[in-house]
Amino acid sequence: MLRTQVAIVGGGPAGLLLSHLLHLQGIDSVVLERRSQDYVEQRVRAGVLEQGTVDLLHECGVGERLGREGEEHEGVFVQFDEERLRIPFQELTGRSITVYGQKQVVRDLNERRLADGGRLLHEVDDVAVHDIATDHPSVTFVHEGESQALEADFIAGCDGFHGVCREAIPADVRRVYERVYPFGWLGILAEVAPSTDELIYANNARGFALHSMRSPSISRFYLQCPPDEPIENWPDQQIWDELATRLDSPGWQLRQGPIFDKSVTPMRSFVAEPLRHGRLFLAGDSAHIVPPTGAKGLNLALADVDRLAEALADHYRTGTETGLDEYSAACLQRVWRVQHFSWWMTSLTHRFEGPDQDFDRRLQRSQFDYLRTSRAAATTLAENYVGLPLR
C-alpha cells in the first residue's frame, strides 16, 4: 500500500495548488487525476483572476509567467442596450483583476510540481475513498492497469462537480442547495484581437453577451442561449451577427476572425454543506458551483485550498485541530457571498422569459441607472468583482 500525508483527488488547479502549498510546508501529498496531463492543461475554462488570487500565486512562487503574460485590468464595462458604463476598479477599491487563462494556471502549477518531484498520477480510474470517519482514511484506484491503495492522514476532494468525494459524505450528513438557470452560455474562442481594452457585460433585449479576451490576439465571447441548445444551430457568421447586435454601442465596432472553439454550458448555482466529514475535505467544484457571470469559480476554488493548506500546516506543526474544525464554516462564508454576487450579476445582465419579463427588465434598467449615479453602488460591484481578501 502507498502512503502519504494528504491524498488529493483531482489534478485541476485546486488540487495542484494544494499540493504545491503543502510541499512548501514540508507536507507530502499524492495527486490522483482521471484525465491525462495534456487534457487537463488544455481545458478551456475561466480566465479572470481576482487580485487576491494573483497575489497568492506570486507569493507561492508560481507567478513568473503570470507576471509576464497576464493582462491587468483596472475596470470593466457594464452595458444596458447601447449605453456603456465603466466601473473603475482601481479608483474605487485600489485593486484590479488579471486576465490569465485557467489552462495557463494549470500549466504553471504542473510544471512546478513536477520540477519539485511531486507525485502526480494521471489517467487514474475507479477512484473510491474509504474510512473517512476514521484516523486512517484511504483511496483505492486503478493506474496503468494495476489496482492500488493509498493510505493517508487526510483526503482532499478536489475532483469537481462530477467527482466521487462529495458522494462519499453520508446522505444524512450532507445538505445540497441548488438553483438551475433557464439559460446557458454559448462560448467561443476566436483568432482576433480584442475589440475592447476591458471586459464588456452587455444586457440587450435579445439576451446577454460578454466580450472577454485571452491574449492580444485571442478573444473570448459568450452569448446567452437555451441551456440545451445544439451547437450546430450556431454557424460562425450567425454568432458574429448576434454578438454585433448585443454588444452594439455608438462609435464602437466589433472585430471578427476565425472561430476555433465553440461550446454551450448550462448555468447553475450549487452548494453542498458541510465541506468536511471526518478526514475528508471538499474544495472547489466538488463543493460548490457558481454561474460564470461573476468570474468566480476558479478564484473560489483556490481560496478554499489556500485555507485548507494553512489549516493542515498548523495541524502538522502544532497538533492543533482548530483550523481544520473551522475550515467548512469559514469557506462557506465566502462561498455564499460569492454565490450572491454571481446571482446578482446574472440577474442584472440576462434576459428572463415569462409573464414578468417586462417588469424584470425595468428593474434591470433601474439597477443600471443606480450604478451610473451612485458611487456606493459602483463600489459594491467593484469590491466583489476584484475579490474580497483571501483571509
Residues annotated as catalytic are 73, 201, 292, 296, 385
Cell 485590468 sits on residue: 73
Query: Who's near 315: CB < 8 A, 6+ residues apart?
Result: 321, 323, 324
Measure Cα distances from 264 to 185, 199, 225, 226, 298 in Å.
6, 20, 8, 9, 19
Distance CA(33)–CA(40), nearest Å, equals 9
| Cell representation of residue 177 | 442547495
Q: DSSP labels for 271-331?
A: EEE-SEETTEEE-GGGTEE--GGG--HHHHHHHHHHHHHHHHHHHHHH---HHHHHHHHHH
Distance CA(222)–CA(199), nearest Å, equals 11
| Cell representation of residue 26 | 514540508
Distance CA(304)–CA(334), nearest Å, equals 9
Would you tell me how many other CB atoms lie within 10 Å of the CB of residue 33?
A: 23
Q: What angle do CA 141, 284, 338 make, to 5 degrees?
A: 165
